[in-house]
């Protein structure tokens, strides 16, 4: 029963993370407004919380609820999945730092002013995050089936 509960939590967090990154991707495609800037900060907070849940629940599943740490330590697809998770987490620092720097402007009800090249870079980073998440889901399916 606990194993099913943790699998459920893992899936909910994974879907939440993917949805919030996709929402960010759509929001940064258009011109930034007060409303979209606030939504980006909220989406970024959700991404951070979902990533933390994924990590904590994922580690507990590895240690106690699935095939055991020895199995995952030998799985190349598990190692690839964790490496991708770390890569996406590091990438996500770039948009997070930008969105957090908007807080003061937003408090004063001002639209943040972002140079076009910076916005393009943020868009690219979020695009790569989405690609990374798809690759993580592929690795998750492969490792669960004992491939690699």
Residues in contact with ligand HEM by CB under 6 A are: 10, 14, 17, 54-55, 58-59, 61-62, 66-67, 82, 85, 133, 136-137, 140-141, 143-144
Six-digit token string for 148: 């690699």
Report the alpha-carbon distance of residue 140 to residue 118 in Å, rounded: 33
Nearer to ligand HEM, 85 or 102 (CB): 85
Cα 110 to chain center, whole Å? 28
Cβ proximity to ligand HEM: between 69 and 104 the closer is: 69
Q: How far is the CB of 99 from ligand HEM (least distance, A)?
A: 19
Residue (89 or 94) nearer to ligand HEM, CB: 89
- Could you give the count of Cα atoms lying within 13 Å of 94 in the half-sphere of its Cβ? 16
C-beta of 40 vs 88, nearer to ligand HEM: 88
CB nearest ligand HEM: which residue?
A: 58
Residue indicated by tokens 């330590």: 73
To ligand HEM, the closest distance from the beta carbon of 89 in angstroms equals 9
| Least distance from ligand HEM to the Cβ atom of residue 47, Å | 10
Q: How far is the CB of 51 from ligand HEM (least distance, A)?
A: 7
CA 136 to CA 82: how far, in whole Å? 8
Tokens of 130: 């989405």
What is the distance between the alpha carbons of residues 35 and 19, in angstroms, rounded to a whole number? Answer: 18
């Amino acid at each position: 029963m606990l194993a099913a509960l943790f699998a459920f939590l893992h899936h909910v967090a994974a879907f939440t993370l993917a949805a919030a990154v996709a929402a960010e991707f759509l929001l940064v495609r258009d011109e930034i407004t007060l409303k979209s800037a606030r939504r980006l900060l909220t989406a970024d907070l959700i991404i951070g919380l979902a990533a933390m849940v994924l990590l904590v629940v994922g580690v507990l599943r590895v240690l106690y609820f699935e095939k055991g740490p020895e199995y995952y330590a030998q799985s190349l697809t598990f190692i690839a999945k964790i490496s991708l998770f770390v890569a996406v987490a590091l990438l996500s620092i770039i948009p997070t730092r930008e969105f957090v720097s908007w807080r003061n402007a937003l408090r004063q009800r001002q639209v943040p002013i972002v140079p076009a090249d910076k916005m393009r870079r943020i868009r690219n980073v979020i695009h790569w995050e989405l690609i990374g998440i798809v690759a993580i889901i592929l690795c998750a399916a492969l490792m669960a089936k004992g491939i690699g």
